[in-house]
Amino acid sequence: MTDLSGKVALVTGAAGGIGAATAEVLAGYGAKVVIGDIQAEAAQATAERLGSNVSAVAYDASDVDSITSLVDAVVEQHGGLDILHNNAAITAAAWSRDTTLLDTEIDWYDRTMAVNLRSTFVLSKLAVPHMIRRGGGSIVNMASIAAFSGSPTLIAYGISKAGVAALTKYMAVQYGRNNVRTNCIAPGAVLTEQVLANVPGVEEGVLSTLPWIRGGVGKDMGNVVAFLSSKEGEYINGQVITVDGGSTAGVAAPKVELPAEHGVSA
């Protein structure tokens, strides 16, 4: 059984969506969780909703000094750090600005890299020494299936997430001998409130091709983060794990209706 009792976890971008769901899962398994987000009031409200094992710290993922203050606050509050989930990212809000090579503005590309990729690098750089001092730890980065194939839009997002996947492998190789494991989740479409609000018709579109019976939700990712950070997942290192309901396997075939001769008789 997954047990994270005594562990200190930092989840970024956790005022809502996948991050909040992951914080809830980790706290449910006994971890003390700090959620970091630029939305200070929303982060605090989420922490209060999730209970006494969860607290919030406001920070800006695009600012190195702010990231440093976040890690310092976690260590000061709890004495160390065992689990880091690098979840903060520019995602659904970018659909109107992050489009094609020719149409995406360079300043938006730079901001996407700062929030999605550089912040993962900086947070991990700051967290790893604390984990080594504690005897080890688990870092779970957040990529996307957008990292592994092209699409008509979201070029900056896809590039940033490909960088996160590469960073994961470098970190796993460089610090695995210190008992610091680094893995990465590559979600497919996750039907968070933000995605549903910003992408009209997304739920119907996902379900029309997904070879599974429902769309993804935040806790699907949180459960993987918890497993990767637990004793049960300790031999998994340097992996990019696709969590997408089978969307990258192919387009869904029609639902099979078994004829009577395939039934099971008593």
Q: List, by residue number, the catalytic residues.
A: 157
Q: Which residues contact 182 (CB under 8 A, 6 or more apart)?
A: 124, 138, 139, 140, 141, 168, 171, 172, 175, 176, 237, 238
Positive/negative CA dihedral, 115, 121, 127, 131: positive
What whole-number distance in Å separates Cα of residue 156 and Cα of residue 146?
10
- In the three-class reduction of DSSP (H, G, I as helix; E, B as strand; rest coil), residue 53 is classed as coil
Q: Note whether 98 and 113 are within 8 A (CB).
A: no
What whole-number distance in Å separates Cα of residue 51 and Cα of residue 48?
5
| Start-to-end CA span in the chain (Å) | 35
Query: Which tokens hold the place of 88?
Result: 């903060």
What whole-number distance in Å separates Cα of residue 217 and Cα of residue 245?
10
